[in-house]
Amino acid sequence: MSAKDIRVEPISRQDADKIIKNLHYSGKVVKNSQLHFGIFLDGKCGGCLQFGPSLDKSKIIGLVKDTKWNGFLELNRAALADWLPKNSESRSISIASKLIQKHYPHIEWVVSFADGTLCGHGTIYQASNFWLTGITKNKNLAILPNGTTIHKMTCESNPTTPRPEAGGRSYYDITDGKYAWKKYVDVVGGEILEGFQFRYLKPLNNTVHHRLTVPIIPYSRIRELGGAMYRGLRQS
């Protein structure tokens, strides 16, 4: 069988979360995901895609001029089992994008981010014809003494929530009510991981290109910056 044989169809949040926790490198779900697509081959589910609003929509919506507040989604999570055929990732994203176009025509584009610190520079997005629209130095991930990782956005989006790595104290308890990521990481005994974050954007209609407010960056720029990574391994 090949990637052409896979099926992509909606599944429940509960099932999608189980798949993400089992297959995604982070082991973590994005709680505000709204659309959940299962990836099936020969009747067996081997992965899922989760889409939802960006955590900070106000910082993303301006990428495409005149986008309505509910006019875009973020591909929050993509996780597929190794036994699925080659190119299943790009095939499943393509099918899911067409389903979104058909059933949610007000969605004009999809944004997603590749973690070039722990995972990869976004090979599946490139294979799925996403535009590379941003490359930034990433200092938003930290590794804790127990080996788990935390993200700056997770802490700062809920700064008053008790945190396990902080012994039940909240982010604000430690930072005196300020957004002070480095201080927080130092206090909990963690270490900030440095790498790159890559922002990708996929248009779902023909008007997006003319309304794009940022340049489309050549994929080759990633290697020029030394940011190439695949499955957590740096590439020369």
What digits encode the pLDDT tens for the residues 87-139? 999 999 999 999 999 999 999 999 999 887 776 788 889 999 999 999 988 88
The pLDDT of 142-148, averaged and rounded, is: 90
**How far is it, in rounded angstroms, from Cα 174 to Cα 157?**
15
Q: In the numeric block, which tokens belong to residue 21?
A: 């926790």
One-letter amino acid identity for 160?
A: T
Query: In a 10 Å sphere around its CB, with 0-12 CB exposed, 13-18 middle and 19+ buried, how is residue 12 labelled?
Result: exposed
Residue 226 has what pLDDT?
75
What digits encode the pLDDT tens for the residues 33-71? 999 999 999 999 999 999 999 988 999 999 999 999 999
Residue 163 has what pLDDT?
95
Average pLDDT, the chain: 91
Query: In a 10 Å sphere around its CB, with 0-12 CB exposed, 13-18 middle and 19+ buried, how is residue 159 labelled?
Result: middle
pLDDT band, very low/low/confident/very high, at 24 (cuts 50, 70, 90):
confident
pLDDT band, very low/low/confident/very high, at 154 (cuts 50, 70, 90):
confident
Task: Specify the fold of 3-137+196-223.
Answer: Aminopeptidase (3.40.630)
One-letter amino acid identity for 189?
A: G
158 compared with 118, residue with greater pLDDT: 158
- Is it the case that residue 193 has pLDDT exceeding 90? no
Phi first, then psi, for residue 3 (nearest 5°) are -60, -25
Task: Supply the pTM of this predicted model.
Answer: 0.80
Domain ranges of the chain: 3-137+196-223
Residue 235 has what pLDDT?
57
Residue 208 has what pLDDT?
98
Residue 234 has what pLDDT?
61
What digits encode the pLDDT tens for the residues 207-231? 999 999 999 999 999 888 777 766 5
